[in-house]
Amino acid sequence: MYFYEICHSLRVAERVAVPLRSVRRGSRVKGWASNSELVKARAAAKFWLGVWHECDRPRSGVVNELRVYTKRRFAKELRKHRSSLKRETVSKIIENPNLVWKLRARPVESTGQNASDIDEEYG
């Protein structure tokens, strides 16, 4: 019984220490959930950041070292993931050169004017 109470208190402490935040739409990384190493590294970094905050943000010691280590590990995994996404995109473009226009195409905002109105304004 004592073991289960300790496990429960640790789970509750983890939920309190690492608050859930919404992610802006433009900052999401594609294929996030499919990369298990990236998910594990992110969870560890967030957990140790919470522990570091609870310990009044020490500048030295074991907690700070673990926070820095997990943060660097997460950054390394994120760089690896983004470079693999770039390699996949380049390989798709090499296979299909017409795809580059589809990847770069952006919608054009409408001004509400047609070509004859613009010609009349600017002569």
* pLDDT tens by residue, 79-112: 999 888 888 887 877 777 666 655 555 555 555 5
Is the pLDDT reported for residue 76 higher than 80?
A: yes
- Per-residue pLDDT, 80: 92
Cα distances from 77 to residues 7, 41, 47, 67, 90, in angstroms, run: 29, 7, 17, 15, 20
Which amino acid, residue 40? K
| pLDDT at 6 exceeding the cut of 90 | no
- pLDDT tens digits, residue range 20-35? 665 565 556 667 777 8
% of residues, the chain, pLDDT over 70:
65
Q: Residue 91 has what pLDDT?
A: 81
Length reported for the chain: 123
How far does Cα 105 stand from its chain's mean position? 24
- Confidence band, pLDDT 50/70/90 cuts, at residue 1: confident
pLDDT score recorded for residue 35: 83
Tokens read off for 123: 């002569």
pTM above 0.85, yes or no: no
